[in-house]
Structure 1
Amino acid sequence: MTASRSNDQKIRNRLLLIIGRQSSIVNATRGFTLIEILISLVLLVIILGAVYSSFFTVQRALERFDEVSLKYQEARTALDMIRREIEGAFLKSSISMDAESNRTAFVIRDRDIFGNPASVLHLAAFTFKGSGLQEVSYYVKEKNNTLVLFKSEALPFMLTAETAENTGAEEQGRGINVEMIEGIVGFSVETRSNGKWVRTWDSNETGQLPEVVRFSIEFDDKGNKIKLTEYARPRFERQL
């Protein structure tokens, strides 16, 4: 009787062992639980969010870099053009009864727009484009709530020295007017006189070209005011 009970106990133990192994196999092969899936989805969302944020941060930085680089390039191009034309500036005195039709001038006017420097530069120069003598004016006007630097260019004596009395040739309706750079904060032109920098010059009064000219373009870079400056000296004789 005792032996029979012992055998029954052994059989039950073996059955329990087999059932336990089968249960372990089932648990191992049944897949992920709902909680595990949810945790995986949360982690995936976090990773994708980080990648998305990094991508658009880099994209915005590249767009801002391109915008600022373009503004620097436009300003440098405008300054280089002005420098070349100042270096090619000259004066021509009257040689006939019609004085105004034969005289050129080099004039700097000190003006401002809403407190921002907006100088006017008028001169006659042999332009760097090789097109010969040109009457050139640089001036600032407001356009769409921003300041824009314009250039007016005309054939010789199409614009007279009187043009310098205006903010540019555009008001005269003559010459070619070109938008040089928009969105600036200021445009200033200065020259040395009696050992100091001044913002006015009129060759009709001085009878000569200035010794040296300093000119600057200012623009805003995300709240930081950037000012680029160039210098130029007229290379021709003072009076022709």
Structure 2
Amino acid sequence: MESGFTLVELLIALALLVVLSAALYGTFFSVVRGADAVRERTEPLRDARAVLDMLRRELSSACYSKDTERFRFVVEDRDVFGKPASVLEFAAFTVPRRGSVPSSDIMEARYAPVEKEGGLIILSRRTRDIFLDAIPVSYPLTGPIDGFLVECYNGESWVRSWDTALNGKLPAAIRVTVRLAGGENPTPLTAVVVPRLAGS
């Protein structure tokens, strides 16, 4: 009697190999799709946290002087299609830039929303040395977000607008909220900052 596999046994083995290969193929690509979906959700969250960390550092070193108009702190309450879109301008202490261009340790920063189609907003940032007359350039800081809200604490309540020309001092605290775009329920991320020179 000859030993070997019959045609039926080979067909069954081939069918099992095809089923196992299809299962592995499907599992691999579902894991890849899942990883892409997680990346799409976490990237805006990471960007928003980075923006809040940057704002926390800069706002904690905000400065104001009644004698110099450049040393100001202004929050404008705006909205885009009913969504908060505050504009924030302030002067702050910073580390001087290294290089051949002279620089001071005080910068002027402006955070402003830019409207995009679909009612979404992209937050832009512009900074410049307060004593140089260079023309600053705005650049995008986030991907599409659903809102950017800045509120100032005046010692009694949170207000959505502030101007040191009218108030004569920095707010006691600043609350910044970035709302991530995400369907009907946007995810808010909030940071509360107390400027080191608050009240001055």
**Which stretch of structure 1 is more off in the superposition, 51-60 or 206-215?**
51-60
Q: Among 27, 41, 50, which residue is 1:54 paired with? A: 27
1:58 & 1:93 partners in 2: Cα distance? 59
Q: CA separation of 1:206/1:78 partners in 2, compared to 1, >3 Å: closer, same or farther?
A: same
Q: CA separation of 1:133/1:194 partners in 2, compared to 1, >3 Å: closer, same or farther?
A: closer
1:174 & 1:116 partners in 2: Cα distance? 30
Name which one, 1 or 2, has greater alpha-carbon Rg: 1
1:71 lines up with 2:44 in the alignment: yes
CA contact (8 A) 1:220 1:226 kept: yes
| Regions of 4+ moved over 6 Å | none
Measured after TM superposition, the shift of residue 150 of structure 1 is 0.6
Long gaps (5+) in structure 1: 1-24, 96-101, 160-172
Q: CA separation of 1:135/1:30 partners in 2, compared to 1, >3 Å: closer, same or farther?
A: closer
Q: CA separation of 1:223/1:56 partners in 2, compared to 1, >3 Å: closer, same or farther?
A: farther
| Root-mean-square deviation over aligned CA pairs | 2.6
Q: Among 85, 93, 100, which residue is 1:126 paired with? A: 93
| Secondary structure, counterpart of 1:182 in structure 2 | coil
Measured after TM superposition, the shift of residue 69 of structure 1 is 3.2
CA contact (8 A) 1:90 1:238 kept: no
Aligned length: 192
| Secondary structure, counterpart of 1:176 in structure 2 | coil
Partner of 2:101: none
Q: What TM-score results when the alignment is normalised by the length of structure 2?
A: 0.82
Q: CA separation of 1:221/1:139 partners in 2, compared to 1, >3 Å: closer, same or farther?
A: same
The aligned amino acid for 1:113 is V
Q: 1:53-94 CA distances to partner (integer Å, 9 max, x unpaired)?
A: 111111122223333333222211111111111111111223
Partner of 1:149: 123
1:31 & 1:49 partners in 2: Cα distance? 24
Partner of 1:14: none
The aligned amino acid for 1:124 is A
Q: What TM-score results when the alignment is normalised by the length of structure 1?
A: 0.70
2:47 & 2:96 partners in 1: Cα distance? 21
The aligned amino acid for 1:181 is T
Q: CA separation of 1:210/1:180 partners in 2, compared to 1, >3 Å: closer, same or farther?
A: same
Between the aligned residues of both structures, percent identity stands at 34
1:41 lines up with 2:14 in the alignment: yes
| Secondary structure, counterpart of 1:31 in structure 2 | coil
Partner of 1:219: 180
Q: 1:163-191 CA distances to partner (integer Å, 9 max, x unpaired)?
A: xxxxxxxxxx9313121111211111112
Q: More helix by proportion, 1 or 2?
A: 1
Measured after TM superposition, the shift of residue 228 of structure 1 is 1.3
1:120 & 1:226 partners in 2: Cα distance? 20
CA contact (8 A) 2:169 2:198 kept: no
1:144 & 1:158 partners in 2: Cα distance? 35
1:192 lines up with 2:163 in the alignment: no
